[in-house]
Amino acid sequence: MVKDFSAQMNAIPEGWVQAMAMTITLATKDEVRAELTIGQQHLQGYGIVHGGVHCGVIETLSSMGAYLFARESGKHVVGLENNTSFIRAVRAGAKLHAVATPITRGRQTQVWQAQVLDEKDRLVATGRVRLLSLEPDQSLAGEQVKGALSDR
């Protein structure tokens, strides 16, 4: 049975997930899911969801899944590339859910795909994230890398 780390991910007190009022509903090394209700903090000037929100949801879920896979061998991950396509505009009050799954997981890189859907399961955004696996002793931006779970 694959362990679900969603409670631990939601318990992290800071960061993008908290700022966006996102709830992780499933977090395993093979699939990560989340939900969020669109509020004013998610909107751009035309009153629709800012594309960066979709990019952030896709990258966050992909990064969590990639990390949960990499941590089994003592590694961490960092995003290298995020390709997100915006399909359908949504406004405040919309309830979105998203899912990310791996495409490939190698020794040095992983590629994950994700979809953001509305309450009618219509595609809102889709994307692919490429991530680099970091060795336990590697530094990132001049500091030792710390994981979201055991290293806190």
Picking from 113, 116, 152, 107, the residue whose alpha carbon sits closest to that of residue 134 is 107
- Model pLDDT, residue 40: 95
Distance CA 147, CA 136 (A): 10
- Tell me the C-alpha to C-alpha distance, in Å, between residue 118 and each of 61, 67, 84: 16, 26, 16
Distance CA 145, CA 147 (A): 7
Mean pLDDT of 86-103: 98
According to CATH, the topology of domain 6-144 is Thiol Ester Dehydrase; Chain A (3.10.129)
pLDDT digits (tens, 9 = 90+) for 53-87: 999 999 999 999 999 999 999 999 999 999 999 99
Among 55-69, 104-118, 129-143, where is mean pLDDT lowest?
129-143
CB count in 10 Å sphere of residue 9:
25
- Model pLDDT, residue 2: 83
Q: Which residues contact 100 (CB under 8 A, 6 or more apart)?
A: 31, 32, 33, 58, 61, 62, 64, 65, 112, 113, 114, 129
Distance CA 65, CA 57 (A): 12
